[in-house]
Amino acid sequence: MPSLLRTTRGLGRTIGFDDLPADVVESTKYRVLDVIGLALAGLGTPYGQSLKQASAAMNPPGPSRLCRGLDNASVSGPRLS
């Protein structure tokens, strides 16, 4: 009998986007948009600024231009600007 890990890994390889129920896809889209909105709204708070500074300290500038800021971010370590 295969282990749970092998069974799960096998499912991940065989299930495609088209196999997902439409209501799950729609709900997930709204959840992703909600998280993005919360992240952007939180940038103006002291906590949001501390996260931005911490992320900038951990990731070098790069070629990517980010929303709501003039800072550049590396592709491998994007930050909220």
Residues paired with residue 65 on neighbouring β-strands, in sequence order: 72
State the pLDDT at residue 77: 54
Cβ-based neighbour number of residue 48 at 10 Å: 16
Q: At what angle do helices 22-42 and 46-58 cross, to 10 degrees?
A: 100
Considering the entire predicted model, what is its pTM? 0.51
**Per-residue pLDDT tens listing for the chain (81 residues):** 678 887 787 777 788 888 889 999 999 999 999 988 888 888 788 988 887 777 777 777 776 655 555 555 555 555 444
- Euclidean distance between CA atoms 81 and 55, whole angstroms: 10
- Which pair of structure tokens corresponds to residue 5? 């890990």
